[in-house]
């Protein structure tokens, strides 16, 4: 048999039974939390024109996009990102809506990769976007929504790592290096490649930014991290960002989330996309982030309307893999009836107050066999003698 007829494409998978229940439970809890915070759902097409992401200057390389053409030969992509299409909608179709806008989504993104290493190419994301608001309170709005979304899912150990795009941008711009060198430095900081970073920075050791850039992979922890970077540089843009982070953390701590926040000034992933604070979220002992977010004030302007924005996206697949939730209760009663008693049986299922299911069989013996095999506690029977309940013996 052809192996491709019985397997899933690389990077995708089937999610079965218990795993699906946990997945949907996570999705519902995040959805309920965001709606309670005033966010309204938006759905964008799975297929977008490739030009949408070119216009946005997407940091997702075209080689990571699944591409196809429409009947007129125009290039399409399977949606590789949720925020860019939302920016397209807001700037082209929501001109009359009063700002700020609170939008959320629960939909898939698709990203191809030549080196999967266990990475998914199809990911269900839940995310929130706050558009048309800037400043400390707007950032706190989206940050606390992210905190509460993770808390709603597990309510145990999670952490948010917080950084600021202006710190790296100000330091690297002072070196006046070419794009290739800048990307090399950024990559070494992101990957915490201390030795390689030191080597590439060696020609700039007489520059004021040298010590701070070299230290960035190690600037991880509590408030002392902000003190350290302020000691290493007197760059005014860096110091403003440090002061902003300090005020942000003070407010977060006052709101009761202080134990869940750490500083990571080596957070430089997709640095061109973000314009202010950036953050990543982790659950339990997971090594990979389940949440990414930050401020991206320049994106909507690329579609013709300058709107400040901030948001986050949760990888529900990664989240579901990293936590073990209490299973929602499964049905405990199996209800058997003949065709003439169907209404009575359905009325019982609807009003009994217990989780009950209709037996999909024609004889009492078949119903009892199903009840034993599937682990129901009670077999409820409707017939000419009324209703009978029988405890199921395993």
Binding residues for L-histidine: 81-83, 111, 125, 129, 273-274
For residue 54, what are the contacts with CB-CB under 8 A and spacing of at least 6?
none
Radius of gyration, alpha carbons of the chain? 26
Binding residues: 81-83, 111, 125, 129, 273-274
Tokens of 201: 């920075």
* Closest alpha carbon to 91 in 34, 52, 41: 52
Check residue 8 and report its DSSP letter: P
* Closest alpha carbon to 341 in 371, 380, 303, 373: 380
Check residue 301 and report its DSSP letter: G
Residues linked to residue 122 through DSSP beta bridges, in sequence order: 110
Tokens of 387: 């209703």
Give the number of other CB atoms < 10 A from CB of residue 250.
Answer: 12
Tokens of 4: 């491709």
Spatial distance between the Cα atoms of 8 and 65, rounded to a whole number of angstroms:
18
């Amino acid at each position: 048999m052809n192996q491709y007829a019985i397997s899933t494409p690389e990077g995708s998978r089937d999610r079965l039974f218990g795993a699906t229940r946990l997945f949907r439970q996570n999705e519902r809890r995040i959805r309920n939390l965001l709606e309670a915070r005033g966010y309204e759902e938006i759905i964008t097409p799975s297929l977008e024109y490739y030009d949408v992401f070119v216009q946005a200057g997407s940091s997702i390389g075209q080689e990571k996009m699944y591409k196809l053409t429409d009947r007129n030969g125009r290039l399409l992509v399977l949606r590789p990102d949720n925020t860019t299409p939302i920016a397209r909608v807001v700037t082209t179709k929501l001109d009359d809506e009063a700002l700020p806008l609170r939008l959320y989504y629960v939909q898939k993104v698709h990203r191809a990769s030549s080196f999967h290493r266990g990475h998914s190419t199809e990911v269900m994301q839940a995310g929130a976007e706050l558009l048309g608001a800037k400043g400390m309170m707007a950032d706190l709005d989206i940050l606390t929504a992210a905190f509460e979304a993770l808390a709603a899912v597990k309510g145990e150990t999670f952490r948010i790592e917080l950084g600021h795009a202006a710190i790296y941008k100000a330091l690297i711009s002072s070196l006046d290096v070419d794009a290739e060198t800048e990307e090399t430095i950024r990559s070494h900081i992101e990957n915490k490649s201390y030795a390689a970073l030191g080597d590439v920075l060696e020609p700039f050791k007489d520059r004021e930014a040298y010590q701070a850039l070299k230290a960035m992979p190690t600037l991880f922890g509590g408030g002392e991290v902000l003190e350290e970077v302020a000691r290493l540089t007197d760059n005014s843009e860096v110091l403003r960002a440090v002061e902003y982070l300090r005020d942000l953390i003070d407010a977060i701590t006052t709101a009761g989330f202080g134990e869940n926040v750490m500083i990571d000034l080596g957070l430089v992933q997709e640095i061109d996309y973000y314009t202010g604070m950036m953050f990543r979220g982790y659950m339990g002992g997971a090594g990979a982030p389940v949440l990414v977010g930050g401020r991206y004030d320049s994106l909507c302007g690329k579609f013709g309307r300058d709107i400040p924005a901030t948001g986050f996206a949760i990888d529900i697949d990664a989240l579901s893999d990293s936590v073990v939730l209490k299973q929602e209760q499964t049905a405990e009663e199996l209800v058997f009836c003949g065709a003439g008693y169907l209404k009575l049986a359905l009325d019982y299922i609807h009003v009994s107050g217990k989780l009950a299911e209709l037996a999909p069989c024609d004889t009492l013996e078949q119903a009892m066999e199903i009840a034993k095999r599937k682990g129901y506690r009670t077999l409820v029977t409707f017939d000419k003698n009324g209703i009978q309940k029988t405890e199921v013996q395993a």
